[in-house]
């Protein structure tokens, strides 16, 4: 799994910084990293809020016994995982529609350098 994530991150970074001038390459890379960090933080907070809401509604309808609390915890995880899966599926569709397949080529006639990390 680690190798697959490495391949995804390097390709995503290459695609995100493609087309930036050499003088702006550091700024472009920093912006991508910043967006990843902020997006991860907001995504975690969103999924936590959804899980907490699912737990609260489960406990309201099933009571506050220990068995209901355990069932509510599992229910909240299931809801958060399904929401995360829907977000990933939507992002995959969006990337499939927006990103063009093939090798990136520079508009100046020079072939883009694909770095293997």
pLDDT at 2: 56
Q: For the beta carbon of residue 13, count every other beta carbon within 10 angstroms.
A: 17
Residue 3 phi, psi dihedral angles, 5° rounding: -65, -40
Q: What is the pTM for the complete model shown?
A: 0.70
Per-residue pLDDT of the chain (117 residues; tens, 9 = 90+): 456 666 777 878 888 888 888 888 889 989 999 998 999 999 999 999 999 999 999 999 999 999 999 999 999 999 999 999 999 999 999 988 988 787 766 665 444 444 444
**Which tokens hold the place of 38?**
């902020």
Contact 117, 11 (CB under 8 A): no
- For the chain, the structural domain boundaries read 2-98
Please tell me the distance from the alpha carbon of residue 76 to that of residue 57, in angstroms, as a whole number: 9
């Amino acid at each position: 799994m680690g190798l697959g994530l490495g391949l995804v991150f390097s390709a995503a970074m290459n695609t995100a910084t493609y087309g930036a001038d050499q003088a702006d390459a550091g700024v472009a890379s920093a912006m991508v990293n910043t967006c990843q960090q902020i997006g991860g933080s907001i995504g975690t907070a969103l999924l936590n809020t959804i899980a907490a809401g699912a737990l609260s509604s489960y406990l309201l309808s099933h009571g506050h016994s220990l068995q209901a609390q355990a069932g509510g915890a599992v229910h909240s995880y299931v809801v958060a995982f399904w929401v995360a899966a829907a977000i990933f599926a939507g992002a995959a569709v969006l990337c499939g529609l927006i990103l063009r397949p093939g090798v990136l080529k520079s508009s100046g006639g020079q072939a883009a350098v694909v770095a293997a990390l």
